[in-house]
Structure 1
Amino acid sequence: MFTMYGVVAIFVCSFLQYSGADFPDDPKPCKFGDEDCLLKAINFYLHEKNQGDASINLLKIDPIDAGTFTLKQGADNPVNIDLTFSNNKITGVGDASAYKVRGFGKDLTKKHELRFKIPVSSLIGDYKIQGRVLILPISGSGKNNITMVDADFVLQWVGVPLEKDGATYMKTDKFRVMIKPSKVLFNFENLFNGDKALGDNMNLFL
């Protein structure tokens, strides 16, 4: 569960990479509050432009270079770990589909919501872990693969109008993420210095 939230955070950032794009007129721009149009536009860019498009300043999102990041859980928790991921990539974002849009009307200060489904999304790369799970010390380094299956993402936020160069843009505030995967699969290779029995059991526990 601890690691899953880190994956969610990186996944959400992948969608936010679209915010700097200069979108063209094809597909056509949507009118305020036109939910059907917005769904079609979002899915067009997810499925047709997930490899990026330099002509409109659109970044590649499948796979996503997640780089290096560290997740920590405090000493008062039964799972007390310091987990660093490096050279990681996230796959599967291009297969995501938006199925519900709410908001995006003329009043940007209202609540906005996007809902996505993604069949399979994986975080793959290198890891290093140190810490304790219950009473068992845990350590290891090697390859990692964390996969979420049939995940439902809900993104909610409140808009804040931003005036720039004579145009009005929307900043996000009170951003909230909810996720419901049918299952999450963990595979950290070389846990406990390669002890297969301990490593397999720990991957199941996580």
Structure 2
Amino acid sequence: MAAAMGFFLIVLSAAVSIANAKSLPNYISICHRSNKEELIKCGLKNTVDVQPHIANGVPEINVPPMDPLTIPEIKLQQGTQAVNYKCTLSNVKVRGLSQYKFVDIDSEMEGKYYIRGKVSLPQIYLDADYEIDGKVLLVPIKGEGLYKGNYTNTIADINIDAELVDKKGKKYLNAKSVTAKLEVGNSAGSFENLFSGDSTLTQATNSFLNENSKDLQKEILPAVEEVVAQLIKQIINQVFDTLPYEELFPK
């Protein structure tokens, strides 16, 4: 989830351009919407040029520090036969997002309005306070404490479709549909203090989940992708509301 959020912020920094160049850092180019090929080329250049600065954030375009990326809270819940649980992650810290590499990017802001991109993240580290209760892969899991995760070769694929809406006599962009797809190469995680600190059950549960990580990903990723898409839609519409379309994407 954090990987997708981080990816979204990188795409946004690459694709969105403010009309007043003085408000942008000198390493970010303004990308004009009239020529799709040039818009994409400019966006890709920005993803490279912004990379050395992304860890500390780019406040001029509202990109927060991303290495580590801090997320106050994530709530997950599923109710299928294989996975039936409620989980809250708080004080989430994600490391490794600044080492991204774009596999593909596509955008159009003239007649059609969308941002699409695929990015590779070689190594992601996550730690958070957790609280979980339920069953995962039919195995009971319950506890609260510290969670640490390590994810390799993650691919995040985000699609944002937008439309123009009238506000205060001007045209603004509005994200009407957002989808997120995640692929994770290998993953390993550790829940501390499961089952009221029972070390034997904690070790056995962590071993089982790591040994069956591929099956776990298959069951849990749809819920993660749905939450990511909702968060991205909320955030990008806040960005779109700040300036009219003509100023966000000058011709």
User: Which interval holds the TM-score relative to the shorter structure?
Assistant: 0.7 to 0.9
Which residue type is aligned with residue 193 of structure 2?
Answer: N
Tell me, yes or no, if the aligned pair for 1:91 and 1:123 is still in contact at 8 Å.
Answer: yes
For 1:133, the equivalent position in structure 2 comes to 136
**How far apart, in 2, do the equivalents of 1:56 and 1:132 lie?**
41
Is residue 39 from structure 1 mapped to residue 40 from structure 2 by the alignment? no
Shift of 1:128: 1.6
**How far apart, in 2, do the equivalents of 1:27 and 1:119 lie?**
24
Listed as ranges, the gaps of 5+ residues in structure 1 are 1-5
Pick from 202, 208, 212 the counterpart of residue 201 of structure 1.
208
**How far apart, in 2, do the equivalents of 1:24 and 1:107 lie?**
29
User: TM-score scaled to structure 2, two decimals?
Assistant: 0.66
**How far apart, in 2, do the equivalents of 1:163 and 1:50 lie?**
36
**How far apart, in 2, do the equivalents of 1:54 and 1:39 lie?**
20
Pick from 68, 73, 78 the counterpart of residue 68 of structure 1.
73
The structure that is strand-richer by fraction is 1
Between the two structures, name the one with larger relative contact order (CA 8 Å, sep ≥ 6).
2
Deviations along 1:72-101, one digit per CA (max 9) or x if unpaired, are: 111x42211111111111111111122322
User: TM-score scaled to structure 1, two decimals?
Assistant: 0.78
Mark the CA change 1:180 to 1:57 in structure 2 (over 3 Å): closer, same or farther. Answer: closer
Is residue 49 from structure 1 mapped to residue 54 from structure 2 by the alignment? yes
**How far apart, in 1, do the equivalents of 2:24 and 2:112 lie?**
19
Is residue 84 from structure 1 mapped to residue 99 from structure 2 by the alignment? no
* Greater Cα offset, 157-166 or 42-51: 157-166
Identity %: 22
Mark the CA change 1:54 to 1:137 in structure 2 (over 3 Å): closer, same or farther. Answer: closer
Deviations along 1:3-44, one digit per CA (max 9) or x if unpaired, are: xxx445544565477579853454321232222221011232
Tell me, yes or no, if the aligned pair for 1:39 and 1:99 is still in contact at 8 Å.
Answer: no
For 2:242, the equivalent position in structure 1 comes to none
Paired residues for 1:56-205 under 5 Å: 57-74=62-79, 76-109=80-113, 111-133=114-136, 135-162=138-165, 170-192=173-195, 193-195=198-200, 196-205=203-212
**How far apart, in 1, do the equivalents of 2:26 and 2:164 lie?**
23
Tell me, yes or no, if the aligned pair for 2:106 and 2:115 is still in contact at 8 Å.
Answer: yes
SS of the aligned residue for 1:62 comes to coil
* Greater Cα offset, 122-131 or 135-144: 135-144
Shift of 1:179: 1.9
Tell me, yes or no, if the aligned pair for 1:157 and 1:172 is still in contact at 8 Å.
Answer: yes
SS of the aligned residue for 2:50 comes to helix
Tell me, yes or no, if the aligned pair for 2:67 and 2:95 is still in contact at 8 Å.
Answer: yes
For 1:3, the equivalent position in structure 2 comes to none
For 2:30, the equivalent position in structure 1 comes to 29
**How far apart, in 2, do the equivalents of 1:42 and 1:154 lie?**
15
The structure that is helix-richer by fraction is 2
SS of the aligned residue for 1:73 comes to strand
Listed as ranges, the gaps of 5+ residues in structure 2 are 217-251
Over aligned residue pairs, what C-alpha RMSD do you find?
3.0
